[in-house]
Amino acid sequence: MLTRRMTILGGGALMAAVGPARAQTFPDRPVRLVVGYPPGGNVDFTARLLQPAMSQALGQQVMVDNRAGAGGIVGTDLVAKARPDGYTMLLTGTAPVSIFPVAMERLPYDPLRDLAPIGMAYRVPIVMMVSKDITTTTLAAFVERAKATPGGMSAGTAGIGSGAHLAIELFNAGTNAGLVHVPYRGTGPALNDLIAGNIPVVFDQLSSALPLHMDGRARIIGIASATRSPLLPNVETLREAGLVQAELSTTLGLLAPGGTPSAVVEKLAAALAAALADPAVRDRLTSLGAMIPPAADITPAYYGQVVRDELDIYREAVRLGNVKLE
**pLDDT tens for residues 1-54?**
444 444 444 455 544 444 565 677 899 999 999 999 999 999 999 999 999 999
Instruction: From 223, 242, 261, give the residue that closes a domain.
Output: 223
Would you say 176 and 99 are in contact if contact means Cβ atoms under 8 Å apart? no
Strands 180-183 and 31-35: unpaired
Check residue 326 and give its pLDDT: 83
For residue 282, CA distances in Å to 15, 17, 35, 238, 292 come to 41, 38, 20, 25, 8
Q: Are residues 94 and 104 in the same domain?
A: yes
Instruction: From 188, 223, 258, give the residue that closes a domain.
Output: 223
Question: Number of structural domains, the chain?
Answer: 2
Distance between CA 94 and CA 61 in Å, rounded? Answer: 26
Check residue 33 and give its pLDDT: 98
Would you say 157 and 179 are in contact if contact means Cβ atoms under 8 Å apart? no
Residues of the chain with pLDDT under 50: 1-10, 14-18
Check residue 11 and give its pLDDT: 52
User: pTM for the whole thing?
Assistant: 0.90
CB atoms closer than 10 angstroms to residue 231:
19
Is 238 a member of any domain? no
> How buried is residue 157: exposed, middle or buried, by Cβ count under 10 Å (0-12/13-18/19+)?
buried
Check residue 91 and give its pLDDT: 98
Would you say 159 and 185 are in contact if contact means Cβ atoms under 8 Å apart? yes
Instruction: From 157, 188, 223, give the residue that closes a domain.
Output: 223
Q: Are residues 117 and 139 in the same domain?
A: no
Distance between CA 263 and CA 250 in Å, rounded? Answer: 28
Is 254 a member of any domain? yes
Q: Are residues 81 and 109 in the same domain?
A: yes
pLDDT tens sequence across 115-137? 999 999 999 999 999 999 999 98
Would you say 118 and 269 are in contact if contact means Cβ atoms under 8 Å apart? yes
Phi and psi for 232 in degrees, rounded to 5? -135, 65
Range of the domain at 42: 30-123+250-321
Look at residues 73, 167, 99, 104 and name the one whose alpha carbon lies nearest to residue 325. Answer: 104
Q: Are residues 138 and 218 in the same domain?
A: yes
Q: Are residues 300 and 310 in the same domain?
A: yes
